[in-house]
Amino acid sequence: METPETSGAISKLFNEHARSLVRMVRLFVDDRNAAEDMVQEAFLRLLDALPRIRQPERVAAYLRSIVLNLARDQNRRGLVSLRHRLPADESPASIEDKIVLRDDQKQVIEALDSLPRRQRDCLVLKYYTELSVTEIAETLGLSVNTVKTHLRRGMSELGKRLGEDS
C-alpha cells in the first residue's frame, strides 16, 4: 500500500533519476516514447516491490536494474511500447534528439550494440550514467571484479570496433 512517505520517496527518486534513465534507455531503443514508457513502468514496478526491499539504500540500483531488464525485454520482443503505442510525434526533434542522432554518436551506439550484453551494460552504466564500479555491481548483481573485467574488455573491444570504422 502506498503511503505519503513512500509516495514522497518515489517522487524524489523520479525527480533525481527519470531523465537520466530515459537517456540511458535511448541507447537501447530508438523510440523516445518507448523509453519514457519503460522508465514509467520501472517506477510502477518499483512501487509494487518497495515492501519487499530490505535495503532502502539500494533502491536506486534496483530501479536501474528494472529499467535495464525492461530495455532488454523490449529489444528481445521487438515491442514499440510496453503498454500501448503512442501516436507518432510529428513535432520537430528536440535539440537533445538531434545530438543523440549525430553520426559519431550513431557509430558509438552501433558499436555498443555489437558488444556482449554485460560489457555493454557496464559501459553504459559507467560512462553514460556515471555510476561507480560498486554501484554498477549492485545494479547488475555482479562482483566488483567482474564489473572491472567487463569494463576493461568492453572498452578494448569498443576501441577496436570504432577504430575499424574510422
What residue spans define the domains of the chain? 1-88, 102-166
What pLDDT, on a 0 to 100 scale, did the predictor assign at position 29?
A: 79
Helix or strand (DSSP H, E) at 14: helix 4-26
**Average pLDDT score over residue span 124-138:** 88
| Strands of the chain, DSSP E | none
Q: Could you identify the residue written with the cell 523490449?
A: 74
Residue type, position 136, single letter: I
Range name among 27-41, 74-88, 98-112, 146-160 with the lowest pLDDT average: 74-88
* pTM of the predicted model over 0.85: no
102-166, which class in CATH?
mainly alpha
Instruction: Calculate helix-pair angle for 59-77, 4-26, nearest 10 degrees.
Output: 50
Give percent above pLDDT 70 in the chain.
75
Let me know: does 115 contact 158? Beta carbons within 8 Å.
yes
User: Yes or no: is domain 1-88 CATH 2.40.170?
Assistant: no
In sequence order, the 6+-apart residues with CB closer than 8 A to the CB of 57 are: none
Show the cell assigned to 140: 547488475
What pLDDT, on a 0 to 100 scale, did the predictor assign at position 101?
A: 56
What pLDDT, on a 0 to 100 scale, did the predictor assign at position 49?
A: 86
In sequence order, the 6+-apart residues with CB closer than 8 A to the CB of 15 are: none
What pLDDT, on a 0 to 100 scale, did the predictor assign at position 83?
A: 41
